[in-house]
């Protein structure tokens, strides 16, 4: 019976995941869809197996364990105070707004608090996968969204600790001295566990793991890591806390070990397998009849959650001084409800903290928000520019108010001609600017990272703050008089708008553009770009040249072969 049920789950995951991949949807959406279909149409052939539930539970444990492995204090420092505080404020404001609004939908105070905490978290997997597909992980909004999502995942730990203690206190007689004592006890336990993490993480755990690594056996290392994870999970469950907390802290402890990268690579396949069972089994429990019977409620909650999270994150980034485009794209990355919503829902229903209706509401809203977020993320740039144009035409006062976030007091750069305009001072643009400085060639930088703009100004660099896709920003950069335009941004939609506007201002300007995608080269050339540089292809050319030199191929023959490769790629 167990083998049959497991086989059905795995086949469901494979088939539904394949369909989701073809449709460019997150695999988690495919798993949930497959679970819903199989759970409803083949319910007579699937028994509620405790073994399947146990595998799913291990999937959750390993999911939290690997999250802990990816955590490090150094990574936290790199994110800066903006992301750390911004993500915390976003979560708190989402919870407060939920407590105020959800009672209007018929939920009590604790259910509203639970829903707010769950819905405040976003899907790291969906956002990062989409950013990666678009080649925008290393952009300003990509790095900010990644850091924001990481911090949300990290804040899952105190949420897992505090929600059950608050629920037990309220179920025991409402808010009273006793409930505050229970809450205070939970805070002490949380503080004690973090102290334990610091103590063990710096001394004992790295030593033990490195001793296990000395055996130079992948199997023994994997067994040591998994055993340590499960011991911690079991220990914390025995303490009355969630097994997820123990798994997460076990990962945090091991993250300080020099072997944590190897551990992660070994654990990840197991995590993916067990987590897949977890998400498919969730689909078995998601009842389409509930969604249909409560469709108006579910739809209202989905709209409320998406709009609330988007508005809060965008306003926070506005107030922190970021460009409207950066704030909008980061906001789109945060609108979904994350994977940990399902984990928290399971925890809540298992501990009898929430009702079956609240549980099904969490599953339904999370599921629908994941599906809606994908096309919004893929079309984020187009949506931004369409909305900006609409505000300019229909709400000019609002547009002017928003425009203040995109402009800072600027000193007009000295009059230049035959200069170079560099759009973007990131990992590519900064080296180009360095080369131009060494060659004493005049240039102007256009950048919409306000912190970077301030830094460059202090160094005496001619820099303009603004979105290069706007024609007035290009005009301010004296594109009419420029000789060359360097487009270091990899964003497709921005590239097209920049090229069209630049050619309108200066038809004779030479444009050099970077792209990560083969299919974009022909389109950019048709728009008027003189040279298209694909970093991955240039790396291949460089490595091929070094390889042929090592193999003692004649220099003239090497040049011929490289020219043939470039011609094949369409770059010559």
**Which residues have C-beta within 8 Å of that of residue 70, sequence separation ≥ 6?**
150, 251, 255, 264
Neighbour tally for 213: CB within 10 Å: 18
With a cut of 90, say whether residue 494 has pLDDT above it: no
Average pLDDT over residues 6-12: 82
Cβ atoms 317, 330 nearer than 8 A: yes
More confident position, 116 or 32: 116
On average, the pLDDT of the chain sits at 80
Element (H, E) at 284: helix 260-285
Record the tokens describing residue 86, joined without a space: 């911004």
Per-residue confidence (pLDDT) for residue 134, from 0 to 100:
74
> Which pLDDT belongs to residue 521?
78
Contact 124, 339 (CB under 8 A): yes
- Asked if residue 348 lies in contact with residue 162, where contact means CB atoms within 8 angstroms, the answer is no
**Residue 305 confidence class, pLDDT cut points 50, 70, 90:** very high
Q: What are the structural domain ranges in the chain?
A: 2-382, 416-533
Q: Note the pLDDT of residue 104.
A: 92
3-state secondary structure at position 462: coil
Average pLDDT over residues 463-470: 85
**pLDDT-wise least confident of 43-47, 297-301, 492-496, 513-517:** 43-47
d(CA 381, CA 374) in angstroms, rounded, equals 13
For residue 102, what pLDDT band results from cuts at 50, 70 and 90? very high
Q: Is the pLDDT of residue 213 over 50?
A: yes
Query: How does residue 112 score in pLDDT terms, banded at 50, 70 and 90?
Result: very high
Q: SS3 sequence, 150-203?
A: HHHHHHHHHHHHHHHHHHHHHHCCCCCHHHHHHHHHHHHHHHHHHHHHHHHHHC
Which tens digit of pLDDT belongs to each residue from 389-401? Answer: 888 888 888 877 7
Residue scoring higher pLDDT (557 or 137): 557
Q: Residue 313: its pLDDT value, please? A: 93
Average pLDDT over every residue of 246-258: 74
CA pair distance 90, 86, nearest whole angstrom = 6
- Rounded to the nearest 5°, which phi and psi values hold at 174? 85, -175
Altogether, the residues listed in the chain come to a count of 572
Q: Which helix (H) or strand (E) holds 459?
A: none
> In this model, does residue 307 exceed pLDDT 90?
yes
Task: State phi, psi for 553 to the nearest 5 degrees.
Answer: -80, 145
The predicted pLDDT at position 95 comes to: 93
- pLDDT of the residue at 409: 46
Give the pLDDT mean for 36-56. 65
Q: What sign has the CA pseudo-torsion 344, 45, 15, 306?
A: negative
The pLDDT assigned to 302 comes to 94
d(CA 466, CA 456): 14
Q: What is the mean pLDDT of residues 28-42?
A: 78
Tell whether the torsion through CA atoms of 524, 530, 535 and 540 is positive or negative.
positive
Higher pLDDT, residue 152 or 272: 152
User: 162 or 429: whose pLDDT is higher?
Assistant: 429
Q: How far apart are CA 320 and CA 148, in angstroms?
A: 14
Averaging pLDDT over each range in 126-130, 177-181, 247-251, 465-469, which range is the top one? 465-469
**Type and span of the H or E element at 464:** strand 463-465
> Which of 433-447, 491-505, 547-561 has the largest mean confidence?
433-447
The DSSP 8-state label assigned to residue 89 in this structure reads H
- CA 5 to each of CA 1, 50, 281, 307: distance values in angstroms, whole numbers, following the listed order: 6, 11, 11, 40
Nearest Cα residue to 335 out of 298, 307, 364, 294: 307
SS3 240: coil
In the prediction, which pLDDT does 63 show? 73
Q: Is the pTM of this model over 0.85?
A: no
Q: In what side-by-side order are the strands of the sheet with 420-423?
A: 463-465, 443-447, 420-423, 484-487, 510-514, 531-533
pLDDT tens, residue by residue, 57-66: 777 777 777 7
State residue 240's pLDDT score. 59
Task: Quick: pLDDT tens for 359-376.
Answer: 999 989 988 888 888 888
From the candidate CATH numbers 1.20.1530.20, 3.40.1670.10, 3.30.1960.10, 3.40.50.80, the one assigned to the domain spanning 2-382: 1.20.1530.20
pLDDT at 173 over 60: no
Distance CA 94, CA 119 (A): 8
Closest of 320, 386, 373, 278 to residue 59, by C-alpha: 278
Cα(374)–Cα(54) distance, integer angstroms: 31
pLDDT for the residue 386: 87
Highest mean pLDDT of the ranges 233-247, 253-267, 324-338, 542-556: 324-338
* Contact call for residues 368 and 292 (beta carbons, < 8 A): no
Question: What is the arithmetic mean of pLDDT over 381-391?
Answer: 86
Residue 72 pLDDT more than 70?
no
CATH superfamily of 416-533: NAD(P)-binding Rossmann-like Domain (3.40.50.720)
CB atoms within 10 A of CB 480: 12
Q: Report the pLDDT value the prediction gives residue 285, as an integer from 0 to 100.
A: 72
> Coil, strand or helix: which one is 216?
coil
């Amino acid at each position: 019976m167990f083998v049959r049920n497991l086989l059905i789950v795995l086949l469901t995951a494979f088939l539904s995941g394949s369909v989701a991949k073809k449709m460019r949807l997150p695999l988690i959406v495919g798993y949930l869809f497959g679970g819903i279909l199989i759970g409803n149409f083949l319910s007579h052939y699937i028994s509620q197996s405790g073994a399947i539930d146990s595998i799913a539970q291990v999937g959750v444990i390993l999911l939290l364990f690997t999250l802990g492995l990816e955590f490090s204090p150094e990574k936290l420092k790199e994110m800066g105070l903006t992301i750390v505080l911004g993500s915390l404020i976003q979560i708190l404001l989402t919870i407060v707004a939920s407590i105020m609004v959800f009672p209007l939908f018929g939920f009590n105070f604790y259910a509203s608090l639970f829903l707010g905490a769950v819905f405040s978290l976003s899907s790291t997997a969906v956002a990062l996968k989409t950013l990666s597909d678009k080649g925008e992980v290393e952009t300003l909004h990509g790095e900010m969204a990644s850091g924001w999502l990481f911090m949300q995942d990290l804040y899952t730990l105190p949420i897992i600790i505090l929600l059950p203690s608050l629920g037990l206190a309220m179920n025991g007689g409402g808010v009273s001295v006793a409930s505050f004592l229970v809450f205070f006890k939970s805070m002490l336990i949380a503080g004690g566990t973090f102290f334990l993490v610091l103590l063990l993480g710096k001394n004992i755990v790295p030593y033990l793991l490195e001793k296990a690594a000395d055996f130079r056996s992948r199997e023994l290392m994997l067994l040591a890591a998994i055993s340590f994870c499960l011991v911690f999970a079991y220990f914390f469950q025995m303490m009355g806390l969630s097994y997820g907390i123990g798994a997460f802290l076990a990962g945090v402890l091991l993250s300080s070990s020099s072997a944590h990268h190897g551990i992660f690579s070994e654990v990840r396949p197991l995590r993916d397998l067990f987590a897949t069972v977890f998400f498919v089994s969730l689909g078995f429990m998601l009842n389409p009849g509930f969604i249909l019977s409560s469709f108006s409620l579910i739809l209202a909650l989905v709209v409320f959650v998406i709009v609330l999270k988007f508005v809060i994150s965008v306003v926070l980034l506005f107030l922190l001084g970021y460009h409207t485009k950066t704030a909008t794209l980061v906001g789109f990355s945060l609108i979904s409800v994350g994977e940990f919503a399902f984990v928290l829902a399971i925890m809540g229903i298992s501990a009898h903290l929430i009702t079956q209706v609240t549980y099904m509401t969490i599953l339904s809203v999370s599921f629908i928000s994941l599906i809606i977020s994908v096309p919004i993320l893929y079309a984020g740039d187009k949506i931004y520019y369409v909305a900006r144009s609409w505000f300019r035409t229909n709400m000019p006062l609002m547009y002017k108010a928003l425009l203040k976030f995109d402009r800072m007091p600027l000193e007009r750069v000295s009059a230049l001609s035959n200069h170079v305009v560099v759009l973007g001072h990131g990992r590519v643009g900064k080296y180009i600017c360095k080369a131009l400085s060494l060659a004493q060639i005049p240039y102007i930088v256009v950048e919409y990272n306000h912190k970077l703009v301030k830094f460059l100004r202090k160094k005496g660099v001619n820099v303009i703050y603004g979105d290069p896709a706007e024609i007035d920003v290009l005009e301010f950069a004296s594109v009419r008089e420029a000789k060359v335009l360097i487009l270091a941004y990899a964003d497709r939609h921005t590239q097209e708008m920049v090229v069209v506007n630049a050619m309108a201002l200066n038809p004779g300007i030479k444009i050099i553009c970077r792209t990560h995608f083969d299919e974009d080269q022909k389109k950019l050339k048709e728009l008027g770009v003189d040279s298209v540089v694909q970093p991955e292809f240039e790396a291949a050319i460089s490595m091929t040249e070094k390889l042929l030199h090592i193999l003692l191929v004649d220099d003239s023959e090497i040049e011929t072969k490289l020219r043939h490769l470039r011609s094949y790629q369409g770059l010559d």
